[in-house]
Homo-oligomer: A and B are copies of this chain.
Amino acid sequence: MIQQERMIVVRQSEIAHHIFELTLQGQIVQEMNPGQFVHIRVSDSFEPLLRRPISIANINKEAGEVTVIYRAEGRGTSILATKQVGDEVDVLGPIGNGFPVDAIPEKGTALLVGGGIGVPPLYELSKQLNARGIRTIHVFGFATENVTFYEDQFSTLGDTHFVTVDGTKGTKGFVTDLLEELKPEFDVFYSCGPLPMLRALENFYPDKPGYLSFEERMGCGIGACFACICKTTEQQEKDYVKVCSDGPVFPKGVVQL
């Protein structure tokens, strides 16, 4: 159930260039699943006005803590980056349908493909897949070395490969270049990242089941305002889906890419 809660900042740090890791404590953590997101109000004033959707990167139900990882670039996320331990943050969540952890056969292998700030939700996903005994392969693309993060964290969970556009870390190029080279064996792929990456991936693995997480500008974040619509493919019965409440994760082939 979606709730609105004033969560408490328990940790915040800059883990890469303009990339922040923020841990919040509160009741609503108990309801969270990988691939869902929270809708964060960064200020109690009306400037900026709208909430910011941010993916859930790490869930710790015992401690009642959730970690998000975000790039502080625009007006809202820059304000979020100033929050200090003990501050309250107004969070609406958890929202949406996340990654299906059980969409993969037992002892199977999952390919997790992330791009930039699309990588965070794959961390909790990978943790939960590993907990189910699934092998995970991580292939992540970033613009450049100084915006990469969580290499150690992912490496303890499975094979982890980085690719950067400028070649400053790992292979040079895009994730598909690396996949071409690695030719990983797997059962299901899960992905989150920029649209061109999702598109390339769908074309790259036409025969594999996959789940993609989408981004769209949001208003309400709960399905009421029709801001975050994606057109569906012709095979679908519905003409459109809402990223916030129907997604953000959809099986491949649902959303028109």
Contact = CB atoms under 8 A, between A and B. Distances in A.
A46 B45 CA distance: 10
Contacts of A43: 45
Interface string A65-82: 000000000000000000
Nearest to A75: B45
Interface in A36-57: 43, 45-47
A43 B45 CA distance: 11
Summarize A's interface: helix, strand, loop or mixed.
loop
A82 B43 CA distance: 14
Contacts of A45: 43, 45, 47
Contacts of A47: 45-47
A45 B43 CA distance: 11
Contacts of A46: 47
Nearest to A43: B45
A50 to B, nearest CB: 14
A46 B43 CA distance: 13
Interface in A15-69: 43, 45-47
Interface string A92-104: 0000000000000
A241 B220 CA distance: 50
Nearest to A79: B45
A179 to B, nearest CB: 44
A254 to B, nearest CB: 39
Interface in A180-233: none
5 contacts: A43-B45, A45-B45, A45-B47, A46-B47, A47-B47
Sorted from nearest, which 5 A-B pairs have the closest CB atoms? A47-B47, A45-B47, A46-B47, A45-B45, A43-B45
